[in-house]
Chains A and B, each alone.
Chain A
Amino acid sequence: MPEGTLCNKKPIDTDEDLKTLLNDTGGKKYYKEMKALDVDSGLLWNTIKNTCKSRMKTWLKICAHCGMCANSCFLYLINDCDPKQVPAYKIQSTLGEIIKKKGEVDNDFMHMAMETAWAKCTCCNRCGMYCPHGIDMGIMFGYLRGLLYAQGFVPWELKIGAGMHRVYRAQMDVTDTDFTETFEWMIEEYEEDYPGLTVSIDKEGADIMYTVNAREVKHYPEDLAEAAILFHLAGENWTVPSSGWEQTSLSMFAGDWAACKMQVEHVYAAMERLKPKRMIGTECGHAHRATVIEGPYWAGRKDGKPPVESIHYVEWVAEALRTGKLKIDPAKRIKEPVTLQDSCNYVRNHGLKDATREIISYIVEPGYFVEMTPNREHNYCCGGGGGFNGIGLYRPQRNKALITKRDQILSTKAKLVIAPCHNCWDAIRDLEEEFKIGIKWSFLKPLLISMVEVPEHLKPKE
């Protein structure tokens, strides 16, 4: 059977198709159909000829097979130094082979490549920092994912995720109405505690346009309230767009580049419509990567920048603390051993290592912050990056991958892990559920709210 009814080369473009695929619990039928899916070698080879250019060709060509990348990969280390987990081997045995064979590969090969691309690499880009030739295998795996996606060899959840972006312009079936209503509901919930708390939807020319992760709307609506409260206390002139509010991109994890472009252009359209001074995204790593770092290129923006200056939430918090817009009550600072998870997507891949540490200097009592080893750009992936967290098929591999972070946290002896990234936060929650090491984990927002000083005029009247 060349094309399945659920597993095929067509992207999901309608709500009906989305629901049909979602109803195939766990992707049972989807993966069964994948076993019979044909490989369109012509398409594969043509895509490579058109898109595998100088940089990637050279990377594959000059790799000295020195193996220096091995120890940089947390998946190699945690899998008992299995040579098949050496980054150079993983990419040479998948993308390298496809190119060598001019796309003439079979179904079994594509299954192996799919597992390698999504369960043996989280696209954390750490290996690129340890290769003398500067070969970034994370980038190549991103590229490979695109090739595999176009052939229909993509994990079920990510096919759905990419479809969600195509249909809803959000990673989940959250509509624009769901978003605005949830935000307004959350404001109502908290307006008694914070008089004057409000959310301006579609306000033009605001200082800040805030964008979120659809998971917050669907599963953690308090996060929206917390963002609103902190903007309110900081006296910010802020707004959210009624459409174009979703910053994430599961399509980036899936390798659905067309969906990436649709998604990010939708956010950029909101920026152009509302003309804010700045866009601030929520505490999410990949959302920042998708909308601020990679997005401009998907959207064809030659300057590599979004239409308005766009910063990560941690940059705004650091600035608000530095300028005194937010003041921390020193008595309420964290007074227990605490560590920080550096997100690959905005620390290694966007240089924000100092912003989070500046925040720590305000919210943690001196002497209680313990760095993980390694840290900053050299930190290991949380264990669930690049979509790994969400793929049921590879759950055992993902759980093993969490051990790296578990041990890093354990050796800090911290009781609390600050994780200003949805993906890292999820991975740390899962590792606590899996291994029960007795830690707490948190985004910045609830911590800040628990210790921020409320200006007198914003306090509720008794």
Chain B
Amino acid sequence: MYEFLTGYMFWLSIGICLIGLLVQFVLYFKGLSWQLDRVAYKQYPALGFKGAARSIIRWMIPFGTYGWRKQPFMTVIFFGFHIGAVLVPIFLLAHNTFLKEKIGFSLFTLNPTLADILTWAVVVSAILFAIRRIALPEVRILTTAYDYFILLISAAPFITGLIARYQFGDYTFWLTVHIFCGEVLLIAIPFTKLSHIALFFASRAQLGMDYGIKRGGMKGKGMAW
């Protein structure tokens, strides 16, 4: 099982994830229509680019927007989740040792203590996300089983990763489960709401272009996100 998951399935899941996201990203922009969206995207590339960049960058800074500042609890758990969810899988020492053995190439690696902290932050934030979904009426009304499913498959590799890392129970078993969960997540990404990994940038860029080109960008200062 371990060989299967780290061999054929490793390449397949990474491939599906990356190609899937790329396809989603390209299709998104191909599908934009200046007339239906009422934004002259191609006429003003510089304004569009500036608007898109501002719209993306401001929202990637914790407390960088009015929206983030209005909801500090959400901001903390949002970034607590996403920073770890992006950095740990890519820069974890163990992952890079695996990569080095597999393809003879590895990336910069995180300090193990920092990696532990970030992983715990992901798990704790995921739990708080779930509690928030139950506790707040304005979130509860929107929440479906699908949202919990997405949260579960997103958090599972981190939870199982921690179990393996602290060697609770049978290490080999939990390591296998961890890899399995990671690959399930990778495969699910392009086909579910998790495609927001790419489409977040696309959608934010679109609204940024809208404001940058049509809704005030030509008047000077740009939207105060």
Give the B-binding residues of A (Cβ under 8 A): 51, 53-55, 57-59, 61-68, 70-72, 76, 81, 83-84, 86, 88-89, 92, 128-136, 293-294, 296-298, 300, 302-304, 348-352, 354, 376-378
Extra contacts, 11 of them, besides A349-B216, A351-B222 (Cβ < 8 A), are A53-B33, A62-B203, A64-B147, A71-B138, A133-B199, A134-B204, A296-B40, A297-B39, A300-B35, A350-B219, A354-B221
Are B204 and A133 in contact, with the CB atoms below 8 A?
Answer: yes
Give the A-binding residues of B (Cβ under 8 A): 27-40, 43-44, 55, 59, 66-67, 70-71, 74, 78, 133, 136-144, 147, 193, 195-196, 199-200, 202-204, 206-208, 210-211, 213-225
Cα distance A461–B179 in the bound complex, in angstroms: 92
Chain B hits for A135, CB < 8 A: 203
Expressed in whole angstroms, the minimum distance between the Cβ of B147 and any Cβ of chain A is 5
Chain B hits for A61, CB < 8 A: 193, 195, 199
Given contacts A88-B142, A130-B66, contact A303 B43 (CB under 8 A): yes
Given contacts A300-B35, A351-B215, contact A68 B223 (CB under 8 A): no
Cα distance A297–B199 in the bound complex, in angstroms: 25
Chain B hits for A76, CB < 8 A: 138
Expressed in whole angstroms, the minimum distance between the Cβ of B68 and any Cβ of chain A is 8
Chain A hits for B31, CB < 8 A: 53-55, 57
* Top 8 A-B residue pairs of the complex, sorted by shortest distance between their CB atoms: A351-B216, A54-B31, A304-B40, A134-B207, A351-B219, A67-B139, A297-B38, A65-B142
Chain A hits for B33, CB < 8 A: 53-54
Are B67 and A128 in contact, with the CB atoms below 8 A?
Answer: no
Are B208 and A134 in contact, with the CB atoms below 8 A?
Answer: yes
Are A68 and B71 in contact, with the CB atoms below 8 A?
Answer: yes
Cα distance A89–B203 in the bound complex, in angstroms: 19
Are B66 and A129 in contact, with the CB atoms below 8 A?
Answer: yes
Are B67 and A72 in contact, with the CB atoms below 8 A?
Answer: yes
By beta carbon, the residue of chain A nearest B193 is A62
Cα distance A89–B140 in the bound complex, in angstroms: 10
Chain B hits for A71, CB < 8 A: 70-71, 138
Chain B hits for A293, CB < 8 A: 214-215
Are A129 and B143 in contact, with the CB atoms below 8 A?
Answer: no
Cα distance A18–B33 in the bound complex, in angstroms: 35
Expressed in whole angstroms, the minimum distance between the Cβ of A88 and any Cβ of chain B is 5
Cα distance A298–B74 in the bound complex, in angstroms: 39
By beta carbon, the residue of chain A nearest B223 is A377
Expressed in whole angstroms, the minimum distance between the Cβ of A89 and any Cβ of chain B is 5
Expressed in whole angstroms, the minimum distance between the Cβ of B199 and any Cβ of chain A is 5
By beta carbon, the residue of chain A nearest B137 is A83
Cα distance A252–B84 in the bound complex, in angstroms: 45
Chain B hits for A378, CB < 8 A: 66, 224
Chain B hits for A304, CB < 8 A: 34, 38-40, 43-44, 213-214
Chain A hits for B208, CB < 8 A: 134
**A-B CB contact pairs (8 Å), 8 listed:** A53-B37, A54-B31, A68-B67, A71-B138, A129-B66, A129-B225, A304-B43, A351-B211
Expressed in whole angstroms, the minimum distance between the Cβ of B84 and any Cβ of chain A is 17
Cα distance A189–B214 in the bound complex, in angstroms: 40
Chain A hits for B206, CB < 8 A: 55, 134
Cα distance A46–B192 in the bound complex, in angstroms: 25
Expressed in whole angstroms, the minimum distance between the Cβ of A96 and any Cβ of chain B is 11
**Partner of A133 from B66, B133, B200 at Cβ < 8 Å:** B200
By beta carbon, the residue of chain A nearest B219 is A351
Chain B hits for A296, CB < 8 A: 40
Are A83 and B199 in contact, with the CB atoms below 8 A?
Answer: no
Chain A hits for B199, CB < 8 A: 58, 61-62, 133
By beta carbon, the residue of chain A nearest B52 is A134
Are B59 and A86 in contact, with the CB atoms below 8 A?
Answer: no
Cα distance A62–B66 in the bound complex, in angstroms: 21
Are A131 and B217 in contact, with the CB atoms below 8 A?
Answer: no
Given contacts A59-B203, A61-B193, A62-B196, contact A351 B138 (CB under 8 A): no
Expressed in whole angstroms, the minimum distance between the Cβ of A454 and any Cβ of chain B is 31
Chain B hits for A83, CB < 8 A: 137-138, 140-141
Expressed in whole angstroms, the minimum distance between the Cβ of B80 and any Cβ of chain A is 14
Expressed in whole angstroms, the minimum distance between the Cβ of A225 and any Cβ of chain B is 29
Chain A hits for B215, CB < 8 A: 293, 348-351
Residue of A58, A83, A297 with highest tally of chain B CB at under 10 A: A58
Are B28 and A54 in contact, with the CB atoms below 8 A?
Answer: yes
Are B147 and A65 in contact, with the CB atoms below 8 A?
Answer: yes
Are B143 and A65 in contact, with the CB atoms below 8 A?
Answer: yes
Cα distance A84–B141 in the bound complex, in angstroms: 8
Chain B hits for A54, CB < 8 A: 27-33
Cα distance A51–B33 in the bound complex, in angstroms: 10
Chain A hits for B40, CB < 8 A: 296-297, 302-304
By beta carbon, the residue of chain B nearest A52 is B36
Are B67 and A350 in contact, with the CB atoms below 8 A?
Answer: no
Expressed in whole angstroms, the minimum distance between the Cβ of A261 and any Cβ of chain B is 11
Cα distance A102–B37 in the bound complex, in angstroms: 21
**Partner of A64 from B32, B59, B140, B193 at Cβ < 8 Å:** B193
Residue of A51, A128, A129, A300 with highest tally of chain B CB at under 10 A: A129
Cα distance A135–B221 in the bound complex, in angstroms: 22
Chain B hits for A132, CB < 8 A: 59, 67, 78, 200
Expressed in whole angstroms, the minimum distance between the Cβ of B195 and any Cβ of chain A is 7
Are A64 and B196 in contact, with the CB atoms below 8 A?
Answer: yes
Are B202 and A58 in contact, with the CB atoms below 8 A?
Answer: yes
Chain B hits for A58, CB < 8 A: 28, 199, 202-203
By beta carbon, the residue of chain A nearest B43 is A303
Are A55 and B37 in contact, with the CB atoms below 8 A?
Answer: yes
**Partner of A81 from B138, B142, B220, B225 at Cβ < 8 Å:** B138
Cα distance A135–B55 in the bound complex, in angstroms: 12
Cα distance A65–B134 in the bound complex, in angstroms: 12
Residue of B33, B37, B133, B203 with highest tally of chain A CB at under 10 A: B203
Chain B hits for A67, CB < 8 A: 136, 138-139, 142
Residue of B33, B55, B219, B224 with highest tally of chain A CB at under 10 A: B219
By beta carbon, the residue of chain B nearest A143 is B36
Cα distance A58–B219 in the bound complex, in angstroms: 28
Expressed in whole angstroms, the minimum distance between the Cβ of A60 and any Cβ of chain B is 11
Given contacts A86-B142, A136-B207, A304-B213, contact A352 B67 (CB under 8 A): no
Are B220 and A354 in contact, with the CB atoms below 8 A?
Answer: yes
